[in-house]
Amino acid sequence: MRDYYTLKVNMPAGIVSPGTLQTVLSLAYEAKVRKVRFGARQQLLMTVHYEDMRFLEKDLKQQQISYELNSEQYPNIISSYCGEDVFRTGAWLRESEYHTVLDQFDYQPRLKVNLSDSNQSFTPFFTGNLNFIASPEPHFWYLYVRPKQTNSLFRWPDLIYTNDIGRLAKAVEECMLAEGFQSEDALHKAVTGGQNFITQPATQDIELPEFSLPYYEGFNRYGERSWLGLYRRDEQFSIAFLLDVCALCLKTRLGELCITPWKSLIIKGIEEKDRGAWSYILGKHNINVRHAANELAWQTEDNTDEGMELKNYVIRYFEKNDTRTFGLCFGVQTRAKSEVFGSVLIRKRPLIRIGQLALFSVYDLYFTENFNPNSRTHHLAEKGLLKMHVPNQLNRLCRKFNARRSQERIDTVRAEVEKAEPVSNMAASVHQCTHCFTVYDEQYGDARRGIPAGTPFGQLPADYACSTCDAPKQDIKLVKPATLVMGS
């Protein structure tokens, strides 16, 4: 008999109400669970002792909460909703559109379904079996199909209308799993032969943005409100902390929490008057929200500490050698056939195996086409590395990427030398936040903090903080305009 079970609760599209999450966490706490994780497909994961499992199952069933034990029969629907409104978004895809699509799924998909804004680079596009991506045509979506257990990807011939996504997804799933259709033509004919869908011809492949992972941690302003990103180095969130989060959301009338594919949590719509209450909860539970960007750009497999330990091992090397990783993200794969998202992939491979026991393992490094993590094409960079050699070889890959990007920038500048450069009104020197890269220019002051234009940085009060992320004054450094760091 197993000592522990892995329990998964799907949160469709990575969206969960504070009340629902509070109920699940309270039941888990009664079953002696103290920490939970979020998965790469935006689901809730926890480990439960077998003696407590039957009581938790009974309680979940009473609350009509669906769950799975040690199984992935029903993968979660994932979406880019977590970045909607706070990161760059498309022209028409908004909150209501996501909910319109989700309401159509009156069944639990057995295929992986992804819903993505085409203009974002925060969530993966093609890690699903059915990948719906918003097209430039309002309310119509591309569909890219990846049959189960394959790396092949093909575009559906038609753009799909928003209100037909759920019905078409169900029809595709039935034809693929029940009837065995896999090829593009046969699958399309089987799905559209018996049902009518509102479509438009998809005449060309979608144009996806260049990948640039936005910084998703800490307090950040958007409009008149703020959003809060929460990341944990060990990927574990204490239930006590999350229960306080849920209670404050309910008190301040925040209706949703968002789980990200980076195993983190985003809370949107925080009003200025409530910032103090959120800071109190972070302090009460000793939650740090000042991690380096290179630590956030990693994805590891669910329910394993091995990938996380390798990640931390590499990050220590990166920090020691001041490695630049901007524009890259890293995936660690320690189990065969598991899937992680990354422009650079680290794959563990057993070198000596006796039965199911791996006695000695090495690591292979891959990078995706043009270092775009959404590419399905992988190139081998290094093979058969010992763990101690992995960080240095990753450092070399980072340098290769930066050199390639620098050359592309040089070529672009050469091609546009005839364009006149605009005259900058920026002062000879400015101050920039080292965390979120917000600039303080004394010519303009800081209206958000009540600092009038013309106020030198040296005359700012000692308790002055960055107007975007609340970093203290000492973390805002003097820089020349030519060396400004531009945030993603």
Task: Count the residues in the chain.
Answer: 488
Q: Is residue 440 within 8 Å of residue 476, measured between CB atoms?
A: yes
Element (H, E) at 187: helix 184-194
**Can you tell me the mean pLDDT for 294-323?**
94
Query: Residue 435's pLDDT band (boundaries 50, 70, 90)?
Result: confident
Please check the confidence at residue 141 and state whether its pLDDT lies above 50: yes
Closest by CA to 212, choosing from 91, 406, 371, 340, is: 371
Please check the confidence at residue 430 and state whether its pLDDT lies above 50: yes
- 283-297, 419-433, 473-487: lowest mean pLDDT where? 419-433
Closest by CA to 468, choosing from 220, 222, 276, is: 220
Residue 444 lies in a domain: yes
Residues 400 and 442 in one domain: no
**Can you tell me the mean pLDDT for 77-98?**
89
Query: Residue 423's pLDDT band (boundaries 50, 70, 90)?
Result: very low
Please check the confidence at residue 266 and state whether its pLDDT lies above 80: yes
Please check the confidence at residue 484 and state whether its pLDDT lies above 70: no
**Can you tell me the mean pLDDT for 369-384?**
93
Query: Residue 251's pLDDT band (boundaries 50, 70, 90)?
Result: very high
Query: Residue 426's pLDDT band (boundaries 50, 70, 90)?
Result: very low
**Side chain identity at residue 267, one-letter code:** I
**Can you tell me the mean pLDDT for 246-271?**
97
- 119-133, 272-286, 291-305, 463-477: lowest mean pLDDT where? 463-477
Percent above pLDDT 70 for the chain: 93
Residues 107 and 172 in one domain: yes
Domain edge (last residue) among 201, 228, 252: 201
Domain with 307 in it? 298-415
- 102-111, 238-247, 250-259, 443-452: lowest mean pLDDT where? 443-452
The pLDDT value given to residue 144: 97
Residue 67 lies in a domain: no
Q: How far is CA 421 from CA 135, 424, 443, in A?
A: 34, 9, 21
Residue 229 lies in a domain: no
The pLDDT value given to residue 428: 58
Residue 310 lies in a domain: yes
Specify the number of domains making up the chain.
Answer: 3
The pLDDT value given to residue 431: 87
Instruction: Kindly report the average pLDDT of the chain as a whole number.
Output: 90
Cα distance between residue 80 and residue 115, in whole Å: 7
The pLDDT value given to residue 333: 95
Domain edge (last residue) among 201, 226, 244: 201
The pLDDT value given to residue 483: 59
Please check the confidence at residue 390 and state whether its pLDDT lies above 60: yes
The pLDDT value given to residue 327: 93
**Can you tell me the mean pLDDT for 457-467?**
84
Query: Which of 260-290 are b and which e, b meaning 16 or more Cβ less than 10 Å from the residue's Cβ?
Result: bbbbbbbbbbbeeebeeebeeebeeeebebe
Residues 460 and 400 in one domain: no
Residues 447 and 364 in one domain: no
Element (H, E) at 381: strand 378-385
**Can you tell me the mean pLDDT for 156-184?**
94
Residues 122 and 173 in one domain: yes
Residues 404 and 364 in one domain: yes
Closest by CA to 467, choosing from 214, 293, 221, is: 221
Please check the confidence at residue 468 and state whether its pLDDT lies above 80: no
**Can you tell me the mean pLDDT for 366-387?**
94
Please check the confidence at residue 18 and state whether its pLDDT lies above 80: yes
**Can you tell me the mean pLDDT for 268-275?**
96
The pLDDT value given to residue 339: 86
Residue 245: how many other CB atoms lie within 10 Å: 26
**DSSP-derived secondary structure for 278-324:** HHHHHHHTT------HHHHSEEE-TT-SHHHHHHHHHHHHHHHHT--
Percent above pLDDT 90 for the chain: 70
Residue 261 lies in a domain: no
Residues 371 and 466 in one domain: no
**Can you tell me the mean pLDDT for 181-200?**
91
Residues 378 and 460 in one domain: no
Residues 321 and 406 in one domain: yes
Residues 183 and 138 in one domain: yes
The pLDDT value given to residue 420: 41
Domain edge (last residue) among 364, 385, 415: 415
**Can you tell me the mean pLDDT for 208-218?**
91
Residue 220 lies in a domain: no
Residues 409 and 434 in one domain: no
Instruction: Say whether 259 sits in a helix, a strand or coil.
Output: strand
Residues 122 and 165 in one domain: yes
**Can you tell me the mean pLDDT for 426-454?**
76
**Can you tell me the mean pLDDT for 398-409?**
86
Query: Residue 485's pLDDT band (boundaries 50, 70, 90)?
Result: low
Query: Residue 164's pLDDT band (boundaries 50, 70, 90)?
Result: very high
Residue 52 lies in a domain: no
Residue 462: CATH number of its domain: 2.20.28.10
The pLDDT value given to residue 413: 46
Residue 272 lies in a domain: no
Closest by CA to 24, choosing from 232, 251, 246, is: 246
Please check the confidence at residue 244 and state whether its pLDDT lies above 60: yes
Instruction: Say whether 382 sits in a helix, a strand or coil.
Output: strand
